[in-house]
Amino acid sequence: MGTVSNFEDLYIWQISSEFCKNIFKIINYKEFSKDFRLRDQIRASSGSIMDNIAEGYERSGNKEFIQFLFISKGSCGESRSQLYRAFDSKYISEEEFTELKEQTVKISSAIENLIKYLMQSELKGSKYKKQQ
C-alpha cells in the first residue's frame, strides 16, 4: 500500500469519484432527468460512496474508518440496484448499464479489501499516536 496522506490519495476514493462523475452524466439524459425520485436517489447514493470514504478517513481512527467503509459499501450496493431500475426503465443502454455495474463491483471489492486490511492491521489510526 502506497503512502496515503489524505483521502484523495486512496484508490477507493478515486474510483468512487470517477463512478460518481459517470452517474452525473447519465442522470442528465432527457428521460432519466424527468424521473426525479430515481435521479435524486442515485445521485445521493453514488455521492455517499465517496463521501463516507472521505469522512471515515478524516476521523483518524481505524475503527471509525471501517464503520464508514461499511456504509460506503452499502451505498455502492444501493447504487448498483438503482442502475438496474434505470436500465429496466430504459433510461440507460445495456452497454452503459454493464460498464457502470462493473464499476460498482470493482468499488465494492476494493472497499472490502481495505476493510479486511484494516481489521488485520495493528494500526489504530493517527489520533491514537502518542503526542510528543
Domain boundaries defined on the chain: 11-121
Q: Mind listing the pLDDT tens digit for each residue in 11-66?
A: 999 999 999 999 999 999 989 999 999 999 999 999 999 999 999 999 888 899 99
Q: Is the domain 11-121 a CATH 1.20.1440.60 member?
A: yes
Q: How many CB atoms lie within 10 A of CB 4?
A: 12
Q: What is the largest CA-CA distance in the chain?
A: 59
d(CA 64, CA 18) in angstroms, rounded, equals 24
More confident call, 126 vs 106: 106
Q: Mind listing the pLDDT tens digit for each residue in 59-102?
A: 888 899 999 999 999 999 999 999 999 999 999 999 999 999 99
Joined grid coordinates for residue 2: 502506497
- Give the total residue count for the chain: 132
